[in-house]
Structure 1
């Protein structure tokens, strides 16, 4: 008996013995037809490689070794094969047979056929959660203003109060957009507000046109990221940092927060004494519709902002490796300030805030008697949370660290992370007034991974 070396399968040792065979080739399909002299063949790709080898077990305990190897060969799933000629392979056992002679039970032979496990996995279907949010947002926005048109009730007794309410809401929207510096660059917005204010008396008696006028304003806000960004926005940076991805979406998200607060404040200050119940219901419907429209636009902008953040992450340099000692216990993130979806904690915080706002608006809508619309708002809330939860895991994590002494931002970032290439984002994220001075005693945030 001559062996070529020792091998192992699932930890059970054996000796490679006699012949070793490997099979391969191409998956050729022949095209042959009856009563025809000609044919052909097609190449359908590479065959799966297959290895057949003979092994031996020797010694006084050869039968015990046979039992152990048989159990290893019959075990489900792939196993690790260590072969002296083929190296280490992850294989599946196709078939095997064992042989031994009753007059010499100190020698057992096996013939084993194995197939290597495929390295590639089958493609998985990825759900377009961002597309679901956009489609759900568009349908919710359409349902909002359709509900406004259907539920609008104008009374001649309170016509002036309704006109004042519509005018106040239009002024609030225009003032908020003026804060972005866009109206000078977007003539369509200017025309929409001019037409709305100039024909309020006619619009309150034709709810379809009124709803269409407000809907056009919010659809214009939705389309803003597709337009060229005005230089007025690009030059408004508070610190010497490079432009960030999704800058316009970020400003629209902040605009939505301010606009929602302004609408709530305006509604609380409105005098409803002496108004008829139908007029009060109409005012409440208009207020709720505009708040929901603001929330829908904010949801779509946040989803778009996450897309821009993920694109920026995929183009960045290799991730920073943070020392474990520099990771103190995490603190609660502040709810105020900029909304840049740059880390997983940012995604969690923003999704919870917006979901709470949408759920509150859904409850108000249901209380007003519009259950179908309330269900659509809840569906949008679920789609938004699912989108951020599904895609947000690809963003880096976040740590907080204390600064012991006043030092430049570049030094602080390098001391915490070992890499100072992302100083611009570190300055912006921590709202540092000057890049050369990080005050001692402050806690700063650093993206990790």
Structure 2
């Protein structure tokens, strides 16, 4: 088939016209970045350029004026329209500039029209959809509410001898100490020093709702931790701190779930001790899980491998706690588990994977970061990921680095 046979009759919004010539512009948009002491620039690709098509059209024949008027009416309609281009076929376009019409007396019976089109895209507004992180925080709030209610219904010292009260105080103190120990004394994670809460325990014992609320309130909210706590867990940055904190909270929750209980006897007071211990362990476990869930929802997850591990550990701990919970708590914890899983899974696509490299020689972390990423600001990431004790002398040994 000859090339002329492939041409299509030109028209705009269904009004035909003839084409004398055309030209267009195609390609991509780029931004050139030039740097001192570098011979080659960095070219940043900003996406495909807007396609433009310019057409020198003409109308001819005894009725050329009627054809002209119909074409002008089509040109003046609002919004984009359909162009049938002889060489490019059907395109959705808009007039970039007003059309120019020209009549020459010696060329009677015809007129020329200059048309300049650009492709017309869709006006796309942000689509409404659920924020997985926000949904996780709402589910965490619900789990906290239900857990406090469950604790208030399970914990009691009413008409009990003093040794039952003493045992409850000891169990609560041990629980707070266990959480603080698991977190390595990370003061930035707590709203107030735990010693302050421990001093309040005797006054809170008579009001289980206030006691449960105070235990959950010992932590800063997940997002507040991310903004304020720095340099914890061996001096790492905020990402490693939050990652290790979530792991520690998940681990200590499992310890409370598996904590041994004293033997129950026929004595009502001894039975109450066991029930109160169960309630306290569940309260501590759920406070840790709610905090870990809130932190996971608000923290960055730049490392794919870490995100998978955190998701597995946290959802597993939520499952473990739910297995021994009553119906209301079970539903709340399972809902929280589903929201955590969906949130982390949704963000995995933007997480980089870990790769193993071996530097060619001992070098400073700044040099390795620049060689790898052309960004010296990534040195801290290398230090945190590999727990390098001397960043100025990175050994020529296998190292874990992010793929991007």
Task: Give the TM bin, normalised by the shorter chain.
Answer: 0.5 to 0.7
Counterpart-to-counterpart distance in 1, 2:263 and 2:386: 44
Q: 2:280 aligned to 278, 286, 293, which one?
A: 286
TM-score (norm 1): 0.58
Counterpart-to-counterpart distance in 2, 1:272 and 1:158: 18
**Residue pairs, 1:346-385, within 5 angstroms:** 346-365=306-325, 370-385=326-341
Render the CA deviation track for 1:269-304: whole Å, top value 9, x for unaligned.
Answer: x53264655543442233123212211111011112
Q: What number of residue pairs does the alignment pair up? A: 319
Counterpart-to-counterpart distance in 1, 2:293 and 2:403: 26
Counterpart-to-counterpart distance in 2, 1:285 and 1:118: 60
Counterpart-to-counterpart distance in 1, 2:312 and 2:290: 15
Residue of structure 2 equivalent to 1:194: 199
Counterpart-to-counterpart distance in 2, 1:357 and 1:184: 20
Counterpart-to-counterpart distance in 2, 1:117 and 1:262: 61
Counterpart of 1:349 in 2: which secondary structure? helix
**5+ residue gaps, structure 2:** 1-16, 24-55, 60-67, 94-116
* 2:293 is aligned with 1:299: yes
Counterpart of 1:127 in 2: which secondary structure? coil
Contact 2:143–2:332 (8 Å) recurs in 1: yes
Counterpart-to-counterpart distance in 2, 1:2 and 1:139: 69
Q: 1:144 aligned to 147, 164, 171, which one?
A: 147
Residue of structure 2 equivalent to 1:163: 166
**Residue pairs, 1:316-335, within 5 angstroms:** none
Residue of structure 2 equivalent to 1:217: 215
Query: Does the C-alpha gap of structure 1 residues 222 and 183 become closer, same or farther in structure 2, counting only changes over 3 Å?
Result: closer
* 2:371 is aligned with 1:445: no
CA RMSD of aligned residues (A): 4.3
* 2:187 is aligned with 1:182: yes
**Residue pairs, 1:238-253, within 5 angstroms:** 238=234, 243-244=237-238, 249=242, 252-253=245-246
Query: Does the C-alpha gap of structure 1 residues 283 and 215 become closer, same or farther in structure 2, counting only changes over 3 Å?
Result: same
Residue of structure 2 equivalent to 1:48: 79
**5+ residue gaps, structure 1:** 8-15, 28-46, 56-80, 84-88, 93-113, 310-340
Counterpart-to-counterpart distance in 1, 2:248 and 2:312: 19
Counterpart-to-counterpart distance in 2, 1:228 and 1:384: 17
Residue of structure 2 equivalent to 1:390: 346
Query: Does the C-alpha gap of structure 1 residues 224 and 371 become closer, same or farther in structure 2, counting only changes over 3 Å?
Result: closer
Counterpart-to-counterpart distance in 1, 2:85 and 2:133: 56
Residue of structure 1 equivalent to 2:88: 82
Counterpart-to-counterpart distance in 2, 1:155 and 1:137: 30
Contact 2:146–2:329 (8 Å) recurs in 1: yes
Counterpart-to-counterpart distance in 1, 2:213 and 2:225: 19
Residue of structure 2 equivalent to 1:260: 253
Query: Does the C-alpha gap of structure 1 residues 427 and 4 become closer, same or farther in structure 2, counting only changes over 3 Å?
Result: same
Contact 1:295–1:358 (8 Å) recurs in 2: yes
Residue of structure 2 equivalent to 1:4: 20
After TM superposition, which residue ranges in structure 1, 4 or more long, deviate above 6 angstroms? 155-158, 227-230
TM-score (norm 2): 0.64
Q: CA deviation at 1:187?
A: 5.5
Q: CA deviation at 1:149?
A: 1.3
